[in-house]
Structure formats: C-alpha cells, structure tokens
Structure 1
C-alpha cells in the first residue's frame, strides 16, 4: 500500500515547525549548559575561597566543634557548606550547615566518602557524601600535618538548572505552538491563489474533451496571473495552455466536421451512379444477347462489385449520420425474437458452421431502441464470426438479463484474436485477417458500425479473446 503523500501546505507547516523546534531545542540546550557551567564555576570559586580562608597549624582550626558550640572567629558558614579538619594526631572535626542554618557533624559513612575522594586544592570535584546529604563539590588542602576539606552542596545548582529547564521547555512549547498556528494561517492564506488555480485545472480535467465539445470556458482569474509571482506564472501559463488546447480542438472539430460532410455527401452522391451501374450490368446480363465468355465474366464482376461498393457506401453514410448525432427511433424491441431470427438467418446462409442459441430468460427481454439498427448489430457480429473463423466452428448467441441491463453475447471457439488487432478492433477499416481465416471479403466497417449503434443506444460493446474462445458482449439498458 502506497503511503499517502503530504500536501504542500502540510509540508510547509511541518517542515518550518520542525526547523523552529530544532532552533528552540538548540537554544534551550545551549542556555541550560551555559547556566550550568556558570553556576558550577561560581560554586567552585566559593569552595576554593572557603578552603583558602581555613587557618591551619599550632592547634588553631577553622572548623568549629558543634559539641562545644564554638563557632570560631570567622564569619558564619554558608547554608549547604561542609568543612572537615583532619589533625595530625588523628582527630577529625567535621561540620555541615543545613538549610535551617544549624550545624551538625558528619557520620562515619559520610566521613569515609570524604576521606576516599581524590581531592585537590585548586579544582573541586563532585562527591556523593551520602547519608541524605547528596552531592558536594569538595576541595582539600594540607599544611603542617593537617588536612582541611571544604565543600558546597550542589543541590541549589541542580534546583536552579532544573527550574531553568522547566521554564525553557514551557516557553519553547508555547512559542512552537504559536509558531505552528501562525504558520498554518500564513501558509493557508499564501496558498489560496494556488488552490484557485488547481480548482480551474480540476474543472478542465473533468471536462470530456473527446466528445467533440471544443469550448473551454474555464480560465484563471486575472488576479492570479501576475507574472511577477510564482503562482501568477503558473496561472498565466495555464490560461495560455487552455487557449492553445481550445484552438487545437476547434481546428480538429472543424476538420472532422468537414470530413463527415464530405463522406456523407460523397456517399449520398455515389448511391445513384452505383445503382445505375448495377442496373445496366443486370440488364445486359438479362438480355441473353450473344457475349463472349470474357464479356459475360466482366458484366458479372461489374454487378458484383457495384453491389459491394453500394453496401460500403451505405455503411459510410450510416456512420456519418451517427457521428453527426442522428437520433434513432426509440420503440420497444423484443430481443428474444431478434436473436431467434439472427440464428435462423445464420443457419440458412452458412450451414458449414454450428449455430446455437442460448436463451437464459423465460420472459422476453425488451429494450427501447431502433429495431432495424439493433438487428444490424447482431447481424454484423454473426457475420464477423462467419467471416473470420474456419468451417466447423461453433458459434453461440446468448441472451440474458443482468438486473437493468440486457446482455447479448456472441461466442465462437475459433482461433482467437491477437492482442495487437484486438486493441483496435472497433476502429474503422480494421480487419482481423492477420489472426483469423477469411472465407469472404470484409470492408472492416462492421464492428465500428455495431459500436456506433450500441453507443447511440446508451450501451457498450467489448470483446474478450483467447485461443479457442472469442466473445463479443453487447450491454443495453433493459426496458
């Protein structure tokens, strides 16, 4: 299953929105990282500053002992600060100032975490002290056999960066939503001229240009044909193209009308001289006057060929009239009797083939139409089977009703039609000599006349062929 392609509007909105989202994401990440780096640098500076303010040596210590309440001579420690003093005699003094400003000593596990950390005096490192205190940035300095460790909790840094992340996400999400809404409105408004051009193109595409109608009134409005814009150029080009198509269709229609008038006029004018030729030939043959064998053969051929030419002229005249839109009679026609007569006539004219009739309805199948023309359709199909199949072929004429459609089907078990000829079988003067045997002459107009008559009755005719089975099917609206 092919994935449905996106419209230009959706592509522009989604594509631009994706670019904006990427820009907001990069901006947010850069801002968050910059703030995190800045805050950590400030925190590290405070740790180093606290470490440098520590007084070591000669029994003096900066870290107060929370047990005796001595805070020393320095300033009050910052909230979240940590201070540990390792004396040379193994004495350890530790202090941590909580959020409430109260100082407390570290437990054994927390002291172990501080002791095991690889600390330096210039570059603080992050250490998870544990015991509910979390991570700290710690630095250490040794002097006179003493080691002092100073640190600051990263909780405030984490809270600050987390709050900033939430703010950035909220602002970026709101901004992206507003951008998408604005883009949808802007793109929809910008593509309205293109939509109007597309509507004109759709109306033209829905117009049946093959029916002889040459007028194409659809045009793009002048407001959408500005050559300085891309859409205007498309609209202008479409108008020019429609004008060229209309001109070409008018020329084609004019040529076809002239050809139809010529065929109709020529066919009409040829009927009289052909009748005269046939009449004089029959008159000469009927006088029983002395003739040489050559003369008798010549007059016989003149009569035969004039009859054949008269039939051809009648066929051309009928096609010209149908092309000109001549209305056929609309009377109830009993297709059952028509099928019976067609099979009886075929039996009489060609006993070398097997002619079968298959009536699948108990009741008569009626249609509204011209009985003589419908008889001509069935006769042409039967004649086509007789002309293009070998002797001993079985030809079956089937009549049935499918809902509101009357179906006439002529099926033979001959050699079939090659696809190259089947594709153009209903064209005028098309012949099946290449693929099927010919026992008699053919003008190549029989099937085209049958199709023209069926179409004039609002029906359809088609053919399906393969070696051993060829079926011509006619479908007409049932009465």
Structure 2
C-alpha cells in the first residue's frame, strides 16, 4: 500500500493527467458506447426471440402436417395431409413445399428414430438445382434420439448439418421428429450485430468529434480565466513595485454559471493580492527610506565619536592603560558601526533602483588589486590568480568600477574570514560564449545556492558572459546555511563573524550589485570546495588601452602620494581609467601587460598596509580598507 501511494499508475493515474476537455469527451463517448451497447444487446435478444418464434411456428406446421390429427380424431377417408396405407409417411414431411434443409424422422415403437430423411439441393442439368431427399446418417439419427418427447421445440446440433430446432409430435399418422435449420436465423442475427457495431462505431466517432467541438466552445471562458491566472503568475511579485493585476472580464465572472463563479472568486483573490502587494510596497518604501535616513544621519555622529576617541587616544596628556583600551574599543566599534551604516545605506540605494555609473571596465585589474589587498590582509592563506592569457580578449563589462571592486572585496573577504589559515583561495576570470556553461561553481548538483539576475542588456551579444569565480578548499558552507547565504545578516558562525568584524551584509551587497549589473551570482559548496560564481554580460568590441600602473611608494591613509595627491587605490583617474593600487606585490606583474599574470601563479608575500579607496560614487564619503 505504501509502495504505490506516491505513484499514479493505471487508468486512474492516466485520467488525472488528462485535460478537462479530454476527460469530458472521453466520458461522453464512453457513456454513449455503454448506452449503444445496451440498446444493441436488447435489440439483438428481442430480434432473436422473434426469429425463434417464427421458426418454431414453421416447425409446428410441418410436424402437424406429418403427424396428422391427434389419435382418435381421424375421420373416414383420407384426412387432409394424411397418407394411405403403403404410402411413405416421410413424404408428407418433405413434401408440400417444405423448406430446404427440413429434417424428418419416424420414431419406432422403441422410441428411437427408425428412419430419417432431409431435403437437400443438388446440381442437376441446365434446369438448375433440384431438391432431393437424403437419408440421415447414424450419427444424425443418434442426435435426434436425444430430443425429449415433451412436445416442445429444442435446439440440437446434427453432425454435418449444424443447429436445428426439433419438435417431437405424435398423431394419427404416427410419431415423428421434425426439425428446421437455424442457419437463416443465425445469419440474420449476425447481420444485425454487424450493422449495430458499424452504426455504434460511426456514432461514437461522430459523437467524439462533435463533443470535442462543443466542449471546446463550452470551456473557452474557462481558458480565458486560466490565461488570466497564468499572466498574473508570470508577474514579478516577489519584490518592487507591482503593476495593476489583470482581472477576469465581467462576462466571465457571472456568478450564475460555474465558470463565472471561478472567475468571480479569482477576481476577489486578485483584489486581495493587489491590496497586500500595495501594502507591502508601501511598507518596504517606508522601511527603505527609514534605513537610508537613519544611515545618513548616523554617519556624522559616528564620525565624531570616532574622531574624538582617536584624538583623545593620541593626545599629549597621559592616560592610563584602561582609558587607552576603552578609547581603542570605542574607536573600533565606531568604525564597525560606520561600516554597517554604509552597507545599509548602499543596500537601501540599490533597492531603490538608484542608477549606477556604467562604463567599459576590465575586470582583470580589479581582480589583481582585490587579491593583492586580500593577500596583505590574510597572509596565512594561499592566494592564486587565473586571468585570461595576453592573446585572449579582455574581460570587459559595462559596469560601475567601484561597485564591482566592492563585489570582489566582499567575496575575497568572505573566503578569508570563513576559512582557516592555510586555505588556498583562487580568483578566476574567464569568458564564456553562447551555449557555454558557467563552469565551476555553477551547476545542479548538491550544494547549489540561489542565484539572481536578469537578462542581457541591449547591445551585448546573447550568451557572451564574463565569469568571475572565487574558489577555496576550505571546510565548506553548512547545508542548512547554503540557501540563505545571500540573505541580509546571514552568518555561518555568529561569534566568529562578530570577532572578525563581519556585519552579515557582504554577500547581500554582492547579490544586489550583481543584479544591478544584469548579472547572476551563485554558490556551490561541498566539504573541501566552495565556489562563488559571478556572471556579468560581456562588453562587445575591444577595450581601450589601459595605461601602465604608476610607480608609487606604499602610502597610509591621509598620507600624500609622491605627486602630492592623496593615494586613491582602485578609483578612476582624471582620464576615467581605473588605476591599480600601489602594493608591494604589484612589482611582480609583467609589463607591458600590467594586469596579466600567468595562469595559476601564487602572489608573492606582501606587507600589511592600509589604503584609502577614495570617494564613493553613491555615498560621497571616503572608504578605508584595513587588513
């Protein structure tokens, strides 16, 4: 019982998979077939009974003519139909226009047939067939002897002759067994059955065609209701502002009909759904506005707290160790709260659909800079780069360079924070064409996380993508957390994340930024291998030449660069071209391809440093990245 509970087999299971139109037509055809079969069976039985009655009447007439009047009722002289002494009594049976095939048998005193004849046709001369008498065989006489002498007609099979209706009768002429063949009756019945079958089949075909047309017309309003529900189900109702929902036409929402009841119920449900979506949108707007306003207002007091704490800690007046520790904690927590506020403000602006500054951007230098920063911050990890070869097309996308840089920083920081020292982290950039899969990190196996994104922007060849993979050989993401990694404030280990300064918003920002770039982000994780894959629409055509990286000494936040300007690592230069960070590891990159590295080469050691990334294109404030 339990083994078949979840399966649909047999007619019942197949019927449930049929459309309503098919089920209605099949049901109607089956009902007509049953009714036609019953009518045909009743007609055949009635016709058979009628034919048997007619044949029995003929048998009785022939038998009475042969037997003569009942015993004791004979009149002087030759009675009508009787015979005189010396005359063959079976001549009376086969004479008088008896039909061909008539069988007659004279019953002796011992109750058995002593002599029997039948009428048969034989081919004669040119005058045509002649009717002659033939003696019955011993087997045929034996079959006649099985007929009861009760005065009723019985069906008996005579060997070589077929079925007969036979009657035993006794009269003044003697005792006789008289029978007529059932062949004509059977032929008539067979003809009737064939006609009934042909008419029934033709009627079922006509009923199926007509029923299908009628049911299609009757179900047309229901199809319109279903189309309305389908269009509503295809709307993006999960987030954002929702357009007015389509409704079932009033002509299909008449509660006096069954289809109208469904349409009216669907309209009421759509009304409730529309009201709920409007309320949700208003609530989201209020929350988003509150977060944006609160984040904006909190930045100033947090900056003041941080500044005063740093000023007091660095002041000339002597402070005790406890005071210095407390001031350091105040400064650190103010910095962490500032990062949280900035992340919330960025998410609020992305949710509000603020436009980004799109321009042709090569991902390779951004990846080099981000990996260099991650290497300096996490020297206990092994960092590797896999970039396109120099003769391959550049990994160019249309995007906001600071936002894409933040995606890379967040993914690498996530790998560094949530894996133990000694873990190898690989950053891979590649281009995939039409029909190519996403490769590592994208698939349908266990551990596949959620992905988001939209279609390709206008002007980008369909199927041309730049794929960025961040892969590590760490312990992996717990299966229970994997579906929620891109949610806000999602943490794998809360205590560890807080200790590392994580806010739980890094991957949510990654998803929001990638979605704003019409891309997708997904994750695949099993013990020993975790891959985050970012797919972005590729930019058609060659990228403009990127100037070589300027030689500059490492700088600290607020320290002027050799040219007298602040060091803005990873921010656009005056000509709009991104400039790479000046880190000690950068000297190992070959020239004149400053952003191309041989495949799968680890980065050399780098000293920890702090850098100022320059003004944010969305918030207008300056961001500082520390190891």
TM-score scaled by length of structure 1 = 0.90
Give 1:415's match in structure 2, choosing from 475, 492, 499: 475
State the distance in 2 between where 1:93 and 1:21 align: 48
**What corresponds to 2:119 in structure 1?**
96
State the distance in 1 between where 2:65 and 2:206 align: 52
Helix, strand or coil: the match of 2:304?
helix
Query: 1:79 touches 1:101 (CA, 8 Å); kept in 2?
Result: no
CA offset at residue 435 of structure 1? 10
CA offset at residue 436 of structure 1? 7.1
Residues 314-369 of structure 1, C-alpha deviation per residue, up to 9 Å, x if partnerless? 11111111001011121121111111112211222221221111225443311111
Helix, strand or coil: the match of 2:248?
coil
CA offset at residue 412 of structure 1? 1.7
Give 1:123's match in structure 2, choosing from 127, 152, 161: 152
Residue 215 in structure 1 maps to residue 243 in structure 2:
yes
Give 1:447's match in structure 2, choosing from 494, 504, 507: 507
**What corresponds to 2:328 in structure 1?**
300
Query: 1:377 touches 1:453 (CA, 8 Å); kept in 2?
Result: yes
Q: How many residues align?
A: 472
**What corresponds to 1:68 in structure 2?**
none
Aligned CA distance change for structure 1 residues 74 and 206 (closer, same or farther; 3 Å):
same
CA offset at residue 370 of structure 1? 0.9
CA offset at residue 282 of structure 1? 2.4
Query: 1:82 touches 1:97 (CA, 8 Å); kept in 2?
Result: no
Aligned CA distance change for structure 1 residues 61 and 36 (closer, same or farther; 3 Å):
farther
Residue 350 in structure 1 maps to residue 378 in structure 2:
yes
Aligned CA distance change for structure 1 residues 392 and 92 (closer, same or farther; 3 Å):
closer
Give 1:114's match in structure 2, choosing from 118, 141, 165: 141
Helix, strand or coil: the match of 2:484?
coil
Query: 1:412 touches 1:471 (CA, 8 Å); kept in 2?
Result: yes
Give 1:402's match in structure 2, choosing from 432, 436, 441: 432
**What corresponds to 1:341 in structure 2?**
369
Matches within 5 A, 1:44-193: 44-55=56-67, 59=85, 63=89, 65=91, 75-85=96-106, 92=115, 94-96=117-119, 103-109=131-137, 112-117=139-144, 118-121=146-149, 122-129=151-158, 133-141=161-169, 147-193=175-221
State the distance in 1 between where 2:352 and 2:335 align: 26
Helix, strand or coil: the match of 1:152?
strand
Query: 1:204 touches 1:216 (CA, 8 Å); kept in 2?
Result: no
Helix, strand or coil: the match of 1:464?
strand
**What corresponds to 1:384 in structure 2?**
414
Query: 2:117 touches 2:135 (CA, 8 Å); kept in 1?
Result: no
Residues 9-60 of structure 1, C-alpha deviation per residue, up to 9 Å, x if partnerless? 1101111110110111111011111211221122123213322332479736
Aligned CA distance change for structure 1 residues 95 and 63 (closer, same or farther; 3 Å):
farther
Aligned CA distance change for structure 1 residues 93 and 281 (closer, same or farther; 3 Å):
closer
Helix, strand or coil: the match of 2:475?
coil
Aligned CA distance change for structure 1 residues 51 and 108 (closer, same or farther; 3 Å):
closer
Give 2:27's match in structure 1, choosing from 15, 18, 32: 15
TM-score scaled by length of structure 2 = 0.70
Query: 1:410 touches 1:471 (CA, 8 Å); kept in 2?
Result: yes
Aligned CA distance change for structure 1 residues 101 and 33 (closer, same or farther; 3 Å):
farther
Range that drifts further, 374-383 or 76-85: 76-85
**What corresponds to 2:265 in structure 1?**
237
State the distance in 2 between where 1:296 and 1:73 align: 142
Query: 2:67 touches 2:174 (CA, 8 Å); kept in 1?
Result: no
CA offset at residue 293 of structure 1? 2.6
State the distance in 2 between where 1:98 and 1:16 align: 52
Query: 2:514 touches 2:520 (CA, 8 Å); kept in 1?
Result: yes
Helix, strand or coil: the match of 2:192?
helix
CA offset at residue 137 of structure 1? 1.7
State the distance in 2 between where 1:468 and 1:11 align: 53
Query: 2:66 touches 2:173 (CA, 8 Å); kept in 1?
Result: no
**What corresponds to 2:486 in structure 1?**
426
State the distance in 2 between where 1:77 and 1:273 align: 129
Give 1:471's match in structure 2, choosing from 523, 531, 539: 531
Aligned CA distance change for structure 1 residues 115 and 303 (closer, same or farther; 3 Å):
closer
Q: Which has the higher helix share?
A: 1
Range that drifts further, 75-84 or 233-242: 75-84
**What corresponds to 1:256 in structure 2?**
284
Helix, strand or coil: the match of 1:329?
coil
Range that drifts further, 400-409 or 235-244: 400-409
CA offset at residue 62 of structure 1? 6.8
Range that drifts further, 279-288 or 446-455: 279-288
Helix, strand or coil: the match of 1:53?
helix
State the distance in 2 between where 1:137 and 1:73 align: 16
State the distance in 2 between where 1:231 and 1:29 align: 39
State the distance in 1 between where 2:346 and 2:379 align: 30
**What corresponds to 1:289 in structure 2?**
317
Matches within 5 A, 1:291-330: 291-330=319-358
